[in-house]
Every structure is written in structure tokens, then in C-alpha cells.
Structure 1
Amino acid sequence: MKAKALGLFAGALIAAAPLVSAAAGLPAPFEASTTLQADGVVKAVDPANHSVTVLDAQGGVASFTITDPHNLAQIHQGGKVHVRMMRSAIISVTRGADGQGSPVQAAPANTVQNVNAVVEAVDHASGVIALKGPDGSVFHIQSRDPVRVVNVVPGMQVMVAFAPQVNVAVAPAQ
């Protein structure tokens, strides 16, 4: 049900976006996804809640609710694991590389987080965009349709509206 509602929201946003973007001379918003992969050591496993707490190589600890629990029985405290987290988003260009543009409204409450970022680089063939977040860190996000990023260039400012659902899979490290 949540996925369907998010799909309807995304569809409505994308359908209306060309009108706003065209008026501002900016590329239309588009759907994208980002994937984080990391290895770590299991600190705790909660099979009833399908959750795992992992210590990464830098000493950071994070807990994940596993959306794909088929490997959960193989995960044990102290074991090494590989975590893969995928998240969908809507990318809206808020300002062109020349500084021209108009503000974009924040996404509705059914998104977990909005992040303002600056386009650092674009691979137009694959649709992968390198974005620099407000804390200076660079992250990558991939358009579901690479054609949608044809007019996206370094220096543009974007708002990334992340979906509330996160797809997390944990598997024993190889």
C-alpha cells in the first residue's frame, strides 16, 4: 500500500513538474535511486523484528530493518556481513548552473528527508550524478531514465526528496 501511494505521489509530482520546470527553464524532476554497500561485523541480531546492528570499518554502528530477510538465519553476532541499502528519490533542479531558477516546494510528509545538493558531475550515458551535500560529502544517485539527465550539468542546485522506504539486504560476507 505504501509503495502504491508513493508511486502515485511520484507520478503526480513528475506529471506536474514539467509545467513548473519549463516556466523556470530548468530540467523537469525525475526519479532516481541510490545504493549504499558496506561490510561490517554484526553486533546484534533481532530475528523477530528482522533487524541487524552492524559495526562498520570506521567504527560506526547502525541498525537496519531487513526488507529481504531470507539470509537472516545465516547472520550471527560477531559474523562479517555485507549490507546493501537501496533508496528511491525524486530529484528536482532548483537553480541552474548560472544561478537562475525558482524555489521548489519541499516534498510532502511521506518522504523521509529532503537534501539540497550541488551537481558535481554527470555521466549522461549511465544517468549517474555526483552530488555534493550540505555537509560537503559527495554521493551518487542514478536516474531511472538516463535521458532525463541530458540537461543536468555541474553547478546546478538540486533538491533530493528521498522516499520513506529503504530496501535493505544483509548477507554473510564472502
Structure 2
Amino acid sequence: MNKKTLGMVAGALLAVAPLVSSAADSLPAPFEGNSVLQAEGIVKGVEQAKHAVTVVDAHGGEASFTVTDTSNLAQLRQGTKVHVRMVRSALVSPTHGAAGVQLSPQNVTAEVVALDRASGVIELKGPNGAVFHIQGRDAVKVGSLQPGMHVEVAYAPQVSVAVAPVAQ
């Protein structure tokens, strides 16, 4: 190779070098998913007009829910054993930041603990060591994560809540 050709090749490599290093630092694309929480408890109270149900769990913890799926609401009475299912949409964005920070009621940072590439479920550890799961809508995007990575989870403000009697 002559000096002119060698100089052009070296110049091209220098021009591309910043692109290569920034590609190595790039993060997987954000993806959408759902957080599903399920629990069982005993109905403490029902406000039919407000679509509200108060449930006590096995440890004595009490929570009130505004039920969005009202198909079972008329069947609920004080003392009824119920299954509560809450679904909330979330946007998961990989980040270089630290995990385990509660940014707001709708945003939290977490560390990827494990993932199931086939089902698209990721296990995350958030603030105070709490472990939670997100079901990704696109398993391929979930598969680009690795345990130990940090993500920001931005929850949608709407929560879908269903409360149904447990078959005895």
C-alpha cells in the first residue's frame, strides 16, 4: 500500500472510532410490559357505589382498592375470601444509573436479577430489596438484558384491579 492509501485508511478508522466506542456503550432499547400483583385475603368492607373493596391479608395487612373490573363486585360481602389481581403497564428503560432508587410513585430504578428469555419475564430488585416481575410484551427485547444491568421502570398511573371470590 502506498502512503496516500494508508493515510486514507487511517483517517477513516479515526473517523469511525467514536461511533464504535459509543455503540459499545449503548444500552438495549426500552420496552413495554406489565406488572401483575396477585394476593388473597378476606373482604373487610365493600362500597358498591364507589366500586371500592377493603381486603385484609393473612398477615393482617389491610389495603383498599378501587375495582375496575366490577363483574364480581355484587358477589362480595364482608368475610368473603377473595383473590385480588392488579395489572399495571410499565416502560422499562435500561440505564447506567444506580439501582434501588424510588424516583416517584410511578418511577423506580431496579437491578435485573434474572430473566426468562422464552416467556419475556424479568425479575427485578428495587428499593429496599423488594423483588418484583415485569412481563415484557416483546420477549426479544427482554432478551437483550443481562443480570446485573440497571433499569428504570416507569409505571402508568392507571391500575386495572379485579377482585373475585375464591372457590371453596
For 1:165 and 1:24, the matched residues in 2 are separated by 34
For 2:87 and 2:75, the matched residues in 1 are separated by 21
Q: Which residue of 1 aligns with 2:85?
A: 84
Q: Which runs of 5+ in 1 are unaligned?
A: 1-20, 96-100
Larger Rg belongs to = 2
Offset from partner CA, 1:10-55 (integer Å, 9 cap, x none)? xxxxxxxxxxx96951001000101111110011100000010000
TM-score normalised according to structure 2 size: 0.79
For 2:45 and 2:37, the matched residues in 1 are separated by 20
Offset from partner CA, 1:42-99 (integer Å, 9 cap, x none)? 111000000100001121100000001011000001111111111110000002xxxx
Equivalence map 1:6-155=2 (5 Å): 24-95=25-96, 113-155=106-148
SS at match of 2:73: helix
Number of equivalences: 142
Q: CA deviation at 1:116?
A: 0.7
For 1:52 and 1:22, the matched residues in 2 are separated by 50
Q: In the superposition, relative to structure 1, how do residues 113 and 22 fare at CA in structure 2: closer, same or farther (>3 Å)?
A: farther
TM-score normalised according to structure 1 size: 0.77
For 1:136 and 1:54, the matched residues in 2 are separated by 25
SS at match of 1:81: strand
Runs of 4 or more above 6 Å deviation: none
The alignment's C-alpha RMSD in Å is: 2.0
SS at match of 1:73: helix
